[in-house]
Amino acid sequence: MKTKKISSALILMLTMLIFCSCTGNNEENKEYTKDIFAMDTFMTIKAYGDKAEIAVDEAEREIVRLESLFSVTDKKSDISRINKNGGQFVKVEEDTLDLIGTALDYCRETDGALDITVYPILREWGFTTGEYKIPDNERIRELLELTGYRKVRLGENTVLLDDGTEIDLGSAAKGYTGDRIAEIMQKNGVDSALINLGGNVQAVGTKPDGSKWKVGIQDPENSGEIVCTLSVSDCAVVTSGNYERYFVGADGKKYWHIIDPKTGYPADNGVISASVIGKSGVMCDALSTALFVMGTEKAIAFCKAHREIDAVIITSGKKMYVTEGLEDMSAVSDKYELSLIKR
Ligand code: ADP
Ligand code: MG
């Protein structure tokens, strides 16, 4: 059984291989890197310049603070308190309200492919506890009754859930955190940094020499390989894949951690990896999860209608769909047949 931790470590190694080529000696290019384990994943923050250390340390404190608000396992977190108090308005911090509000916007925009209320179903499958099992159909039907993002309502500084409904922000919290860290970098005068939150990459500026950062997209069928590299600056690159957290059931089938909110089963539509590239980390995180759930045709249609994102969608049919804007992409492997998403 593989876990997110192993996969995140591999992603980290891959990205480190790509990124480690750029260290400078002078003060301006001085590199400061910190590895952190938080939000159930390995994170690396690498920043350049004389303010790098101050900024990275502040970023680490911010990660710890945000985790304490968003964690579903920490009983004192805002999310746990909201979940425990269905039917009542629960007062929360501004960041919690901001993230839930933004996530709900993407739930609506993706017609419920993203749905932050799938949490009771995820737990039933064991993805939150590690006690994996295939639930019976009747149980899934019961739990589906409790889900639906319209059962979440926001007040001025409160959140109200229907009784029995529970939420989880695992689909977007790392992206949100990436945005906050990028802001901390900029506020501290760091204009060159690369933030890797367990595969959620956030690039601040360019490399110190002015060239773009290179970010590898992992082969979903082979965790040691990358299928292409993207050259990026000032943006987020976020991937959702079926290889990140999964178990093999007694029936020999693979079941992964991204749930189709319409069925209550892991989204199994041929998409095995969806990467989204765009200005905002929370947008890329929410939409990479949503594109994974939508399946190839809907995901391509969504990309055509949303020019604010670029995407790389890989299917079990050995196809790789890439939006036209990604001219800087260089394919490393020809294992997947490339098609352009034109718009
Ligand atoms: P990762 O956290 O592995 O980087 P994602 O960003 O795609 O991957 O988020 C997956 C997480 O989102 C799951 O672990 C679960 O907590 C939650 N989740 C699963 N399915 C959905 C869904 N359809 N909508 C919203 N959240 C989901
Ligand atoms: Mg996501």
Ligand 1 pocket member 171 (CB < 6 A): yes
DSSP, collapsed to helix, strand or coil, labels residue 189 as coil
pLDDT at 27 over 80: no
Beta-bridge mates of residue 205: 192
Cα(72) to centroid(ligand 1), Å:
13
Question: Tens digits of per-residue pLDDT, 198-220?
Answer: 989 999 999 999 999 999 999 99
Q: For 276-307, how does the pLDDT look when each residue is reduced to its tens digit (9 = 90+)?
A: 999 999 999 999 999 999 999 999 999 999 99
* Ligand 1 neighbour 118 (Cβ under 6 A): yes
| Reported confidence tier of residue 327, pLDDT bands at 50, 70, 90 | low
* Residue 328 pLDDT exceeds 70: no
Residue pLDDT, tens place only, 216-271: 999 999 988 999 999 999 999 999 999 888 999 989 999 999 999 999 999 999 99
The rounded Å distance from CA 74 to ligand 2 centre is: 20
pTM, entire model: 0.92
Kindly give the distance from the C-alpha atom of residue 171 to the centroid of ligand 2, in angstroms, as a whole number.
4
Task: Say whether pLDDT at 13 is over 80.
Answer: no
Predicted local distance difference test score (pLDDT) of residue 3: 44
User: Over the chain, what is the mean pLDDT?
Assistant: 92
**Is the CB of residue 40 below 6 angstroms from any atom belonging to ligand 1?**
no
On the 0-12 / 13-18 / 19+ scale of CB atoms within 10 A, 209 is: exposed
For residue 12, the CA-to-ligand 2 centroid distance in Å is 17
Ligand 1 near 303 CB (within 6 A): no
Q: Are 279 and 305 in contact (CB under 8 A)?
A: no
Instruction: Please tell me if the CB atom of residue 219 comes closer than 6 angstroms to any atom of ligand 1.
Output: no
Q: What is the DSSP letter of 211?
A: P
pLDDT tens sequence across 56-92: 999 999 999 999 999 999 999 999 999 999 999 999 9
The DSSP bridge partners found for residue 31 are: 48
Note the ligand closest to the C-alpha atom of 267.
Answer: 1
